[in-house]
Amino acid sequence: MKISLFDVSDFANPLEKDTEIIGGPGTYSALQYDHKALFTHQEKNLFGFPISLYDETTGEYVEFEGEGALIYTITPDGISQTASLVEQTNNEYEDWHSAIQRILYIDEALYTIATSEIHSYGLETFEPISDLVFD
């Protein structure tokens, strides 16, 4: 996956000002097919999305690295990763029950929402606050 920031001050000649490559072959996000998966916090210039990270191995195979969410600060000056809420794993594939579908914030807390769980984090530090897991 790739995030790009373009300078469109000359609309006829947009220039790629900054870029961020995320993961390797097989990496994907719900954002690729559902625009509602994009998290935004305009006052803090935060943007985030759910992610399933894969990476190349030797040969023809890819290896599942983990799943969660990535949060970026994007300003006219550039792109920088602010937080990685990706859970590393030894599993071969992602677990659709715990795969994050949405990210939102209320006051000073950020929430990641999955089919079977909700996690909360401090919006300033991105440190875990609490978890709610249901069967």
DSSP 28: B
Query: Hey, how many other C-beta atoms are within 10 angstroms of the C-beta on 54?
Result: 20
Q: Comparing 121 with 24, which gets the higher pLDDT?
A: 121
**Sequence-ordered alpha helix ranges (H) in 14-97:** none
Model pTM above 0.95? no
| Residue closest to 70 by CA, chosen among 33, 105, 112, 32 | 112
The answer for 19, left when phi > 0, alpha when psi is -120 to 50, beta otherwise, is beta
The residue type at 113:
I
Q: Write the CA distances from 103 to 7, 81, 88, 118, integer angstroms.
A: 27, 16, 19, 10
Q: Please give the Cα distance from 27 to 41 (Å, whole number).
A: 24
Mean pLDDT of the residues in the chain: 93
Q: How confident is the model at residue 56 (pLDDT cuts 50, 70, 90)?
A: confident
Q: Is the pLDDT of residue 59 over 90?
A: no
Per residue in 64-120, pLDDT tens? Answer: 999 999 999 999 999 999 999 998 888 877 888 889 999 999 999 999 999 999 999
Q: Is the pLDDT of residue 61 over 90?
A: no
Q: Averaged over 13-33, what is the pLDDT? A: 94
